[in-house]
Every structure is written in C-alpha cells, then in structure tokens.
A = this chain, B = another copy of it.
C-alpha cells in the first residue's frame, strides 16, 4: 500500500511486478533444466499465482515467456564476458598483447559460463517460436551480445596490428564457432564428462589455435 520509492509505477497494485516475478521464476526453471523446463504453469506455481495470471503479462503465453527468458540468459552471458574483459586491464602490456589477452579472456568466460550454467546456456541459444516468427529470415545475430563483443575484440586485434586486415572479414564466425562448439560439446555433447583439468587444457589449446590462425605470418 505504501509507495515507498519503488522504481516501477503502479508497484504493489495487486501483486506488484508480476511480470518480473514470473520471468525470474522462469529463469530459475531454465537454470535447472534448460529451455524445455520453462513451463508456464510451474513458473506461476512458484510465484504463487494462478497460471491464468501469466497471460496478463505475456500475451502470447508460454512462447512469450520463453522468449523473455532467452533474452535474459543471453544478457547474463554477455555480462559474464564483460566482467572477464573488465578484469583484463593489465597496464604494462602493449596493445597487441592486450588485444590477444582480451580475446582469450572472453573465450574462456564463454566456455566457463556454458559449463557453470548449462541450463541457461542452452536456453540462450534455443529455438524460440517468438523471435523465429518475428524475424523469420533476418539475421538478428548482430544484436546478440556475444556477437557484438566478439566483433569489437576482433576490431581491437586489427587495430593493434596483431591481425592483418585481410583476415578480418568473416572472422567472427570462425571464432564464435570454435568457442561455441567446444561449449556445446562439453555441456551436452560427446565431450561431456571430461575432467576440469582436461577441459581447461583443451580450451586453452583451442584459443591458442584461434590466435595463431589470426596473427601468424602468411604461409
């Protein structure tokens, strides 16, 4: 009843911000069981509200809810990478070295996230009726946080002189593919069950390969 400085207008209307509460609960489901576990009824149950209530806030029902969770999961991954990059500001290093270190840090953060939060990782990249229908053929991957950050890192690599401009076009896909592929193989694929030791070594080795392929002299 009190309007104690809640950011949302209309807070404490009935529930307050049911939409956020449902999205948060659904995030929990995604975290625990991946996209298939994002079940509208269960999210409502966890919030303590009838399933019907969700339709006030997610007009399209379950599809809408999953779409929201997917975006949130992508955002979390982006934030995780961002944090790794922020810790990467070694002042002594030269530009080339720094650009390489940052790419490495981002890649490692990506795989680390996939491994630490497999449910969210899978949700971030799941098929999703809502966004599929909205832009059936459009390439909105450019809006994905991971892609944006990767693109910037490659630009840095070129700007620092570590990587020749001729290799810049299409470079995103190769790097993203490698990091994403390793993540997928570790999380759900045939490389699941590998030890942490081996996993780290494998990732480090793969990133070495990426860096080498981007920075080595022409042959």
User: Is A161 on the interface with B (CB-CB < 8 A)?
Assistant: no
Stoichiometry, as copies per complex, reads 2
Main SS at interface, chain A: helix
Say whether A86 faces chain B, with CB atoms less than 8 Å apart. no
A217 CB to nearest B CB, Å: 6
In the complex, are the beta carbons of A177 and B206 less than 8 A apart? yes
Instruction: State the Cβ distance, A183 to closest chain B Cβ, in Å.
Output: 8
Chain A 137-162 residues near chain B, CB threshold 8 A: 137-141, 144, 147
Interface presence of A10 (CB below 8 A): no
Stretch from A16-24, A47-55, A61-69, A168-176 that touches the partner: A168-176
Q: Which of A37-45, A87-95, A184-192 contacts B (4 or more CB under 8 A)?
A: A184-192
In the assembled complex, the Cα of A157 lies from the Cα of B57 at a distance in Å of: 57
**Nearest Cβ distance between residue A74 and chain B, in whole angstroms?**
9
Do the beta carbons of B190 and A125 come within 8 Å of each other? yes
Residues from chain B with Cβ under 8 Å of A213 in the complex: 209-210, 212-213, 216
CB distance from A140 to the nearest CB of B (A): 7
The 7 A-B residue pairs with the shortest CB-CB distance, nearest first, are A181-B181, A141-B190, A177-B181, A213-B213, A174-B206, A177-B182, A209-B213
Chain A interface residues toward B at CB < 8 A: 36, 125-127, 136-141, 144, 147, 169-171, 173-174, 176-185, 188-191, 193-194, 201-202, 205-206, 209-210, 212-217, 219
